[in-house]
A and B are shown apart, each in its own frame.
Chain A
Amino acid sequence: MAAILKGIVATSVLSSSSDFVPKGVQLPSLKSLPVSERKGGFLVDGSDAKVVPVSNARARSAGRLVAANAVAAEKSAASTASKTGGHELLLFEALREGLEEEMDRDPRVCVMGEDVGHYGGSYKVTKGLAKKYGDLRVLDTPIAENSFTGMAVGAAMTGLRPIVEGMNMGFLLLAFNQISNNCGMLHYTSGGQFKIPIVIRGPGGVGRQLGAEHSQRLESYFQSIPGIQMVACSTPYNAKGLMKAAIRSENPVILFEHVLLYNLKERIPDEEYVLSLEEAEMVRPGEHVTILTYSRMRYHVMQAAKTLVNKGYDPEVIDIRSLKPFDLYTIGNSVKKTHRVLIVEECMRTGGIGASLTAAINENFHDYLDAPVVCLSSQDVPTPYAGTLEEWTVVQPAQIVTAVEQLCR
């Protein structure tokens, strides 16, 4: 019987002495399994951490375990971790830890961006790194996003592994030329000759009265660019894991962080771990409705989930994490179980991630739906400065509760 498996979905070698995995359980690295064999998912039921096979799951080969992620498991994992150690830190520190570990591991990894060096990054993600690695490895660039992003592309083509920090994701609009044409397309137009192992990261999303231009959600603009991968982190645990995975990936990856989540605190394992870039995270298993979300909205959803549980609903919450490509495997299994989908995102209504996800679900799982997919997104307006107005442009927990109630009628 499998124990808590959260977070040990690692692409690196798993030590059998890990306290998270009981003896005798074989945990293959997900990457080693061909996709067709990842049939059947195991969801960890939150209440007593029992492994519950998913109903409607297709035939699965006996004895194979596909690790599922669960925040409910996280509680037990956390308690196990506290027995073994683990350490508490804030999300921006987790990002820095991941970054530092990768920079130690591979001398070709370097950081470029405005104020990443001496200043330590606008949100302190690179604090102390310039002192440790030098000014060339943690490069303070002039204010020229398009050019230094292009420079990172050129460096990636010629052997380095740069990480570009956009001081605010919105500034990367200036780098759209390089991100779209070069990051995304060069691998293809060069006939596969050149790889672009670049990571582009930065804080985005609606903050606390930052004004319209500093509150942009660029995932919707970048999602159509062919050739790039997009992930969004939401907890210190997945922030570190995704950062490491993105750096190790040979593809250009855009890592979306959120301005309001940098000070989240969580206990993360001491052991090294790397998460999969293409996987969604099961935050709370449930039966009645599938709520798909990412980044900051995860917390609004979990807040709404508390209210919903009190009202007698059992929502299943999935943090999709991978914005491009979608983890339709996890999402599909969930849809097949609950038959109702609610998407909660911070993107604008028009052309956002939710819009693409709705289309993907309708295309692939139409027969399993008992109700139309409902998508809650931000209003199609520039984010106002006034706090009360700003609140109204973003999805609030009360709206989520209402939507679930309507969906489950």
Chain B
Amino acid sequence: MSSAFPAMKILQPLSTTRSPEKPLFDLLKSPSSFLGSASKLRFNAQKPSPSSSYSSSCHRPSTIVAVSDVVKEKKTLKSNSSLSNLLITKEEGLELYEDMVLGRAFEDMCAQMYYRGKMFGFVHLYNGQEAVSTGFIKLLKQEDYVCSTYRDHVHALSKGVPARAVMSELFGKTTGCCRGQGGSMHMFSKEHNLLGGFAFIGEGIPVATGAAFTSKYRREVLKEAGCDSVTLAFFGDGTCNNGQFFECLNMAALWKLPIVFVVENNLWAIGMSHLRATSDPEIWKKGPAFGMPGVHVDGMDVLKVREVAKEAIARARRGEGPTLVECETYRFRGHSLADPDELRDPGELLNFVILVYFVFPFL
């Protein structure tokens, strides 16, 4: 249906229940001062900002969809009405807050242990990106699957793996979630349906596609009517140049698998800036090329991420197929604890810190 036609049609609002006047993803909305927009964030770019070159050639349909404006409006609208129209309830808010604080505290403790010589190997920390993990995973059910990368501690925590089990795993203890056999980069949990934890980038995306395939197979071949498990595949900007990413986008859209591809675009693949590695850095655009919606969201705001995630997950559960969600986020620490992190401009980090702590609360 929509796959026969180009991007314009694909980027239609995901949810049919949303009113036409206030679509969540609206192509026609003018470019906002959304902080995640290409023109604002890439001040460290070593090549000309893509938006400038694009605006001159004018072949881009529109800029980043303005999720923030709509969500803002919803918030202001809703704060005027009764409590039941809030974006999140107090309980949900506390749950999200606890999850993010747990993630941050956990990662900080990992760093402490590592630098004190009690933890070894490659440890990749998630500081700064908590909103993506919490925003998405807290919407899942136990039977839904999460497939991650080596930066998987917080995904494991959000999915429900006890922090004690994850920490024990990092110390190589038999009480760890993988009996100490996997380590930092291989967090698995059968009980919580966490399918890893992969050391090579891109490796987990086909596995996630397979889990989504199982869900569809269960429904259609084994006739388990109640089976509507959704799979989330998390991966980074560097992975989006890898063959497995594209191959899986194709297969997932082809068979309408119940999967959401979540790109945690933190602009850096170790020391390789996303802009230096990618011909077209706007990853969300690659979704429509395969016949699925491509959505861009500010990955530093958990409420925005959650709104997008709700749509994408609901879409998958309804059997409408995959979605590609690009979350612009930032990692406050180096690629791993062994990374000297010399190539990133400290100003870039400061910019995010300022935005997150001083600007966002006032928006």
Hey, which bits of chain A sit against chain B, CB under 8 A? 107-108, 110, 134, 136-137, 141-142, 144, 146-160, 177-178, 181-182, 186, 188-194
Residue of A142, A154, A157 with highest tally of chain B CB at under 10 A = A154
Once the chains bind, are B188 and A144 in contact (CB under 8 Å)? no
**Could you say which residues of chain A place their CB within 8 Å of the CB of B251?**
141-142, 144, 147-148, 151
Residue of A148, A151, A152 with highest tally of chain B CB at under 10 A = A151
Q: Is B302 an interface residue (CB 8 A)?
A: no
* Closest Cβ–Cβ distance, residue B322 to chain A (whole Å): 13
Q: Is B208 an interface residue (CB 8 A)?
A: yes
**Could you say which residues of chain B place their CB within 8 Å of the CB of A177?**
200, 203
Beyond A148-B247, A190-B188, 11 additional contacts (C-beta under 8 Å) are: A108-B222, A136-B216, A142-B247, A142-B251, A144-B250, A144-B251, A147-B251, A150-B244, A152-B210, A190-B178, A194-B188
Once the chains bind, are A191 and B217 in contact (CB under 8 Å)? no
Taken residue by residue from 165 to 184, chain B's Cβ proximity to chain A (1 for < 8 Å, 0 otherwise) reads as: 00000000000111111110
Size category of the binding interface on chain B = 35 or more
A158 in contact with B214 given A181-B199, A190-B178 (CB within 8 Å): yes
In angstroms, Cα B222 to Cα A110, docked, is: 11
Q: Name the one of B200, B214, B247, B248 contacting A155, with C-beta atoms under 8 angstroms.
A: B214
User: What are 5 inter-chain pairs, A to B, with CB distance below 8 A?
Assistant: A136-B220, A154-B206, A155-B214, A155-B217, A157-B210
Q: Is B49 an interface residue (CB 8 A)?
A: no
In angstroms, Cα B251 to Cα A151, docked, is: 10
In angstroms, Cα B188 to Cα A155, docked, is: 15
**Could you say which residues of chain A place their CB within 8 Å of the CB of B243?**
144, 146-147
In angstroms, Cα B147 to Cα A189, docked, is: 14
**Could you say which residues of chain B place their CB within 8 Å of the CB of A137?**
217, 221
A150 in contact with B179 given A108-B222, A144-B247, A194-B188 (CB within 8 Å): no
Once the chains bind, are A110 and B217 in contact (CB under 8 Å)? yes
Chain B residue nearest in CB terms to A134: B221
Once the chains bind, are A189 and B210 in contact (CB under 8 Å)? no
A151 in contact with B209 given A108-B222, A157-B195, A158-B145 (CB within 8 Å): yes
Q: Is B155 an interface residue (CB 8 A)?
A: no
Hey, which bits of chain B sit against chain A, CB under 8 A? 145, 147, 176-183, 186, 188-190, 195-200, 203, 205-218, 220-222, 243-244, 247-248, 250-251, 254
Once the chains bind, are A149 and B206 in contact (CB under 8 Å)? yes
In angstroms, Cα B44 to Cα A7, docked, is: 70
In angstroms, Cα B178 to Cα A157, docked, is: 15
A191 in contact with B180 given A107-B221, A152-B210 (CB within 8 Å): yes
Closest 4 CB pairs of A and B: A154-B210, A150-B206, A191-B178, A190-B188
**Could you say which residues of chain B place their CB within 8 Å of the CB of A146?**
206, 243-244, 247
A158 in contact with B200 given A146-B247, A189-B178 (CB within 8 Å): no
**Could you say which residues of chain A place their CB within 8 Å of the CB of B221?**
107, 110, 134, 136-137
**Could you say which residues of chain A place their CB within 8 Å of the CB of B190?**
190, 193-194
**Could you say which residues of chain A place their CB within 8 Å of the CB of B211?**
154-155, 157-158
Once the chains bind, are B182 and A189 in contact (CB under 8 Å)? yes
**Could you say which residues of chain A place their CB within 8 Å of the CB of B197?**
189-190
**Could you say which residues of chain A place their CB within 8 Å of the CB of B214?**
154-155, 158-160
* Closest Cβ–Cβ distance, residue A5 to chain B (whole Å): 39
**Could you say which residues of chain B place their CB within 8 Å of the CB of A186?**
188, 196
A147 in contact with B248 given A182-B207, A189-B181 (CB within 8 Å): yes
In angstroms, Cα B213 to Cα A137, docked, is: 11
In angstroms, Cα B195 to Cα A177, docked, is: 17
* Closest Cβ–Cβ distance, residue A4 to chain B (whole Å): 41
Once the chains bind, are A158 and B177 in contact (CB under 8 Å)? no
**Could you say which residues of chain A place their CB within 8 Å of the CB of B213?**
151, 154-155, 160
**Could you say which residues of chain A place their CB within 8 Å of the CB of B248?**
147, 151
Once the chains bind, are B207 and A157 in contact (CB under 8 Å)? yes
Once the chains bind, are B205 and A150 in contact (CB under 8 Å)? yes
In angstroms, Cα B217 to Cα A137, docked, is: 8
Once the chains bind, are B206 and A178 in contact (CB under 8 Å)? yes
Once the chains bind, are B178 and A154 in contact (CB under 8 Å)? no
In angstroms, Cα B188 to Cα A149, docked, is: 20
**Could you say which residues of chain A place their CB within 8 Å of the CB of B218?**
159
In angstroms, Cα B183 to Cα A150, docked, is: 21
Residue of B190, B196, B213 with highest tally of chain A CB at under 10 A = B213
* Closest Cβ–Cβ distance, residue A52 to chain B (whole Å): 47
In angstroms, Cα B132 to Cα A280, docked, is: 53
* Closest Cβ–Cβ distance, residue B83 to chain A (whole Å): 40
In angstroms, Cα B216 to Cα A215, docked, is: 37
**Could you say which residues of chain A place their CB within 8 Å of the CB of B186?**
189-190
Once the chains bind, are B188 and A150 in contact (CB under 8 Å)? no
Residue of A148, A150, A188 with highest tally of chain B CB at under 10 A = A150
Once the chains bind, are B179 and A151 in contact (CB under 8 Å)? no
Chain B residue nearest in CB terms to A155: B210
**Could you say which residues of chain A place their CB within 8 Å of the CB of B198?**
181-182
In angstroms, Cα B206 to Cα A144, docked, is: 10
Once the chains bind, are B147 and A147 in contact (CB under 8 Å)? no
Once the chains bind, are A151 and B207 in contact (CB under 8 Å)? yes
Chain B residue nearest in CB terms to A137: B221
* Closest Cβ–Cβ distance, residue B258 to chain A (whole Å): 12
Residue of B181, B207, B244 with highest tally of chain A CB at under 10 A = B207
**Could you say which residues of chain A place their CB within 8 Å of the CB of B200?**
177, 181
Once the chains bind, are A158 and B206 in contact (CB under 8 Å)? no
Chain A residue nearest in CB terms to B245: A147
**Could you say which residues of chain A place their CB within 8 Å of the CB of B199?**
181
Chain B residue nearest in CB terms to A186: B196
Once the chains bind, are A193 and B189 in contact (CB under 8 Å)? yes
* Closest Cβ–Cβ distance, residue B88 to chain A (whole Å): 30
* Closest Cβ–Cβ distance, residue A167 to chain B (whole Å): 16
Once the chains bind, are A107 and B222 in contact (CB under 8 Å)? yes
**Could you say which residues of chain A place their CB within 8 Å of the CB of B220?**
136
In angstroms, Cα B176 to Cα A397, docked, is: 56
In angstroms, Cα B199 to Cα A152, docked, is: 19
In angstroms, Cα B195 to Cα A386, docked, is: 48
Once the chains bind, are A151 and B178 in contact (CB under 8 Å)? no
In angstroms, Cα B189 to Cα A108, docked, is: 22
**Could you say which residues of chain A place their CB within 8 Å of the CB of B147?**
154
Q: Name the one of A107, A136, A191 contacting B177, with C-beta atoms under 8 angstroms.
A: A191
